[in-house]
Homo-oligomer: A and B are copies of this chain.
Amino acid sequence: MGKRMDAAELGAWRGFLATHARLVRELDEELRAAHGLPLSSYDVLTTLESAPGRRLRMRDLADEVVLSRSGLTRLVDRLGREGLVTREECEEDARGAFAVLTDAGARALADARPTHHDGVRTRFLDALEGEDATRLRELWARIDT
């Protein structure tokens, strides 16, 4: 029990944390500066965009973007105030609510996407070599189970 981390393991873990912190901070700042859109909002908008009917139950959306329910309630409030998302009630379950991407939301996303994609590419994807991307994707899948 409690096998020590060797140097490679320690580097893999601490690098993971440090890289994430730095990248997310930079990408968030970049997105806010260029489009007034925080990364967390961008994340919600893309998730909704790729959902069937551009809509998702609050619960499922919270899971997808890894946010607490209350956190998502507030985030959707903010996006609603800007007209990027609306709420719709759920027919099958009267407790439930959908968050729905509006046309304005889709446009805001289309505007912001090039900036963000470039940012991710230069800071992250460009460092991937050979089969790195595939291996990483498989790694996250293994961890997720």
In the complex the two chains form, what is the Cα distance from A74 to B75 in whole Å?
26
Closest to A18 in B: B66
Q: Say yes or no: is A135 at the interface (Cβ < 8 Å to chain B).
A: yes
Tally A residues with Cβ within 8 Å of B.
Answer: 46
Residues of chain A in range 1-21 having any CB-CB distance to chain B below 8 Å: 1-6, 8-9, 11-13, 15-21
Q: Enumerate chain B residues within 8 angstroms of A141, measured Cβ to Cβ.
A: 15
Scoring A residues 110 to 145 as 1 if CB is less than 8 Å from chain B, else 0, what string do you get? Answer: 000010011011011101100011111101111110
28 CB < 8 A contacts A-B: A1-B118, A2-B114, A2-B117, A4-B117, A5-B117, A5-B120, A5-B125, A8-B133, A8-B134, A8-B137, A9-B125, A12-B134, A12-B136, A13-B124, A13-B125, A15-B136, A15-B137, A15-B141, A16-B124, A17-B66, A18-B66, A18-B140, A18-B144, A19-B144, A20-B20, A21-B66, A123-B143, A135-B135
Give 20 new A-B contacts, CB below 8 A, not counting A6-B133, A16-B136, A23-B143: A1-B118, A2-B117, A5-B117, A9-B133, A11-B133, A11-B136, A11-B137, A12-B132, A12-B133, A12-B134, A12-B137, A15-B136, A16-B124, A17-B43, A18-B66, A18-B144, A19-B143, A19-B144, A21-B66, A22-B144
